[in-house]
Chains A and B, each alone.
Chain A
Amino acid sequence: KQEVTQIPAALSVPEGENLVLNCSFTDSAIYNLQWFRQDPGKGLTSLLLIQSSQREQTSGRLNASLDKSSGRSTLYIAASQPGDSATYLCAVRKGNFNKFYFGSGTKLNVKP
């Protein structure tokens, strides 16, 4: 079974800081890895998708990297803003039924 771990579980930073969120997974035979944002009591919003053949993807202030061989991905957020406060989840897609396996998320608080 695929295990997905996200560290840290919670993070509090002052506005303007650059930060890195981590995601690790046990089985490197994945199709892709997706980063999501979840606001309290809401659904998930897709941020970035990295295919297994790619090393990184960028969208605005967000950059996600993937190292399949070591089972790791990072989400880099540049110049953080209070509006970035949310829970960030990573999910990997693998397996016979192409399932998505989620981590428990990192709860980010950006202080004004």
Chain B
Amino acid sequence: EAEVAQSPRYKITEKSQAVAFWCDPISGHATLYWYRQILGQGPELLVQFQDESVVDDSQLPKDRFSAERLKGVDSTLKIQPAELGDSAMYLCASSRGVAQLGTDTQYFGPGTRLTVL
């Protein structure tokens, strides 16, 4: 069964350093999502791509976070510089992005656990 791949699984960094996360969605999925999940809370959408275009980045702290999906396939999320409050699980998900949104299911990767010291 196809899965969403993410790397690394764990990342420890010091504040003010740069970090990058990678996501490879399920083949053929047009929509890709990056979420941040703080312990004990539900995931919060950071950025949503439709193919290579950003359709929603309203909750992305753009002064330090950036995301790209250059060829409309895999994606990279970067933080520079990292802050203590960025410690969280970063989840990537993908969906087919079908015209009938009612049937469009999200599939999640295993996540990247970021710890900022």
Contact = CB atoms under 8 A, between A and B. Distances in A.
Interface of A: 4, 31-32, 34, 36, 41-46, 49, 51-53, 89, 91, 93, 97-100, 102-105
Contact of A49 (B89, B105, B111): B105
B108 interface: yes
Contacts, number: 65
A31 B102 CA distance: 5
Contacts of A105: 41-42
Interface of B: 4, 6, 33, 40-45, 48, 55-56, 89, 91, 93, 101-111, 113
B42 A51 contact: no
B102 A53 contact: yes
Question: Which of B6, B44, B101, B111 has the most chain A CB atoms inside 10 A of its CB?
Answer: B101
B48 A97 contact: yes
A45 B101 contact: no
B101 A32 contact: yes
A100 B33 contact: yes
Contact of B109 (A4, A43, A52, A53): A43
Nearest to B41: A104
Contacts of A102: 42-44
